A and B are shown apart, each in its own frame.
Chain A
């Protein structure tokens, strides 16, 4: 069974840092496009970052320069290092695999259950 399990969320002060983890089972993180998607309380879904199977990364403008996506092959785990956190980063953070089989696009599946990040003093 394919499963993604996030961890590492919590309460952090503005300006602080946090590292999220997403442990995968049933499939290989390094062979897939892996992404983070967040959802602020009561709001919609917002894509945050992706790491492609070749290792290239991409970020939403709202987190560029502050967040870093990475993966550990032998641990089969995806990470999101979040620095200089702001109140507006408060959200549930989901990891998801981005299935891509065409230059025209792809879709997110499966998703983890999410980990909550709260940025507040």
Chain B
């Protein structure tokens, strides 16, 4: 089974910072990787699918890239509402999550 490993698991950042989260697959996967944002006590929300396509309504400061075994989610300028946990997903596998907290 494919495993997805996110790094870092936790990051502390300030409003306005550029943030990058990496998702590495245990073996080469298709480009159909998705990213989700989850806030406390809320359901996950789809941000990006097919590695780099922004879901409708998601701010353009979010972007995704990558192929093969390494994918990245970038937030170009962190906003207060972006403090949350982020997950990558491919088929039935999720990464372990990256919690973004306020520095």
31-68 of chain B: CB within 8 A of chain A: 31-34, 36, 38, 42-46, 49-50, 55
Partner of B44, one of A102, A105, A106, A108: A108
A88 within 8 A of B: no
**Number of residues of chain B lying within 8 A (CB) of chain A:** 26
- A-contacting residues of B (Cβ < 8 Å)? 29-34, 36, 38, 42-46, 49-50, 55, 87, 89-97
Given contacts A47-B94, A105-B91, contact A111 B43 (CB under 8 A): yes
Cβ-Cβ contact count across A and B, 8 Å cutoff: 59
Q: B94 near A44 (CB under 8 angstroms)?
A: yes
The distance in angstroms between the C-alpha atoms of A46 and B87, with both chains bound, is 11
- Chain B residues within 8 Å of A104, by CB: 30-32
Q: B44 near A45 (CB under 8 angstroms)?
A: yes
The distance in angstroms between the C-alpha atoms of A110 and B49, with both chains bound, is 13
A69 within 8 A of B: no
- B-contacting residues of A (Cβ < 8 Å)? 37, 44-47, 50, 58, 60, 94, 99, 102, 104-114
Q: B43 near A60 (CB under 8 angstroms)?
A: no
- Other A-B contacts than A44-B97, A107-B34, 13 sampled, CB-CB below 8 A, are A45-B38, A45-B44, A47-B93, A50-B92, A99-B49, A104-B30, A104-B32, A106-B32, A107-B46, A107-B49, A112-B43, A113-B43, A114-B43
